[in-house]
Amino acid sequence: MTVPAFGLGTFRLKGQTVIDSVRDALDVGYRAIDTAQIYDNEAEVGQAIAESGVPRDDLYLTTKIWISQFRRDALVPSLKESLRKLRTDRVDLTLIHWPSPNDEVPMAEYLGALADAKAQGLTREIGVSNFTIDLTRQAIELLGAEAIATNQVEISPYLQNRKLTGYLREQGIHATSYMTLAYGEVLKDPVIAAIAQRHGATPAQVALAWALQLGYSVIPSSTKRANLESNLQAATLQLDDADMAQIAALDRGHRLANPQGIAPAWD
């Protein structure tokens, strides 16, 4: 299996808000949904999927294991609980959400448990999130690069993460971009706006198309049906070399996801 290029993110969406977002997204054509244990919305995501009428086999469902569940005796049971909430017997992709802070749980332990979950059929693919070059290298030594479906990391025009993405490309590991729109900050950028105007597109479509053309998957979220539908059209927008060069020049190392006590030493 391969990670779909375009999916729906559900970070920060809860209750009826996430139910409506997932329902609308499925209705306008999304078929990949990204959630996580720490988002506290798996049950609502599962409800929305169940009520949508979309066959489970048509969907690509991702969840992420939280750092409190990394012990070998906890990870698989926690994933089974996620499956119960999501109303499914397996997910398509399970990620380690963040590396264990200060190596509190050895990587060999939690990646071993994640591999066990795959062997048991609880998840079709496994991967990591927020892993640096060094951490990814360690994961490759433990699992092999071919076993790592993706490294989901923050990538936006303002944080292009070129060292890490270059390393992933060398290793044949797919990159998934989250916060591609930098919480909406890049939508106000005059360079992005000018490119959008030239193409008759929206700034969001431009930023998403940029990431897609670099080969990354994207998982933008929205609570508005019109935006969900509009964002999906980024997959058909073709930026030219000049557009891509202009966006490349916007990189400023502007990181938004950097939780104290959890985030690793970034590249």
Q: Residue 2: inside a domain, yes or no?
A: no
User: Per residue, what are the HEC states of the chain?
Assistant: CCCCCECEECCCCCHHHHHHHHHHHHHHCCCEEECCHHHCCHHHHHHHHHHHCCCHHHCEEEEEECHHHCCHHHHHHHHHHHHHHHCCCCEEEEEECCCCHHHCCCHHHHHHHHHHHHHCCCEEEEEEECCCHHHHHHHHHHHCHHHEEEEEEECECCECCHHHHHHHHHHCCCEEEECCCHHHHHHHCHHHHHHHHHHCCCHHHHHHHHHHHCCCEECCCCCCHHHHHHHHHHHHCCCCHHHHHHHHCCCCCCCCCCCCCCCCCCC
How far apart, in whole angstroms, are the C-alpha atoms of residue 176 and residue 265? 19
Q: Residue 48: inside a domain, yes or no?
A: yes
The end-to-end CA distance of the chain, in Å, is 29
Specify the pLDDT at position 225.
98
- Tokens 């900050």 — which residue? 185
Q: Residue 127: inside a domain, yes or no?
A: yes
Under a CB-based contact definition with an 8 Å cutoff, are residues 229 and 220 in contact? no
pLDDT digits (tens, 9 = 90+) for 36-49: 999 999 999 999 99
pLDDT digits (tens, 9 = 90+) for 60-73: 999 999 999 999 99
Q: Residue 258: inside a domain, yes or no?
A: no
Closest CA to 143 of 155, 131, 161: 131
Task: Determine what percent of the chain is predicted with pLDDT higher than 90.
Answer: 100
Closest CA to 146 of 166, 132, 126: 126
Report how many domains make up the chain. 1
CATH number of the domain to which 51 belongs: 3.20.20.100
Under a CB-based contact definition with an 8 Å cutoff, are residues 204 and 234 in contact? yes
97 marked as part of a ligand binding site: yes
Q: Residue 102: inside a domain, yes or no?
A: yes
Domain assignment of residue 191, given as a range: 8-248
Closest CA to 152 of 77, 224, 92, 98: 98
Q: Residue 3: inside a domain, yes or no?
A: no
Record the pTM.
Answer: 0.98
pLDDT digits (tens, 9 = 90+) for 211-237: 999 999 999 999 999 999 999 999 999
Specify the pLDDT at position 1.
59
pLDDT digits (tens, 9 = 90+) for 182-197: 999 999 999 999 999 9
Q: Residue 76: inside a domain, yes or no?
A: yes
Q: Judge whether residue 206 has pLDDT over 70.
A: yes
Pull the structure tokens for residue 75.
């990870």
Q: Residue 1: inside a domain, yes or no?
A: no
Give the residue numbers annotated as catalytic, written as ranges. 39
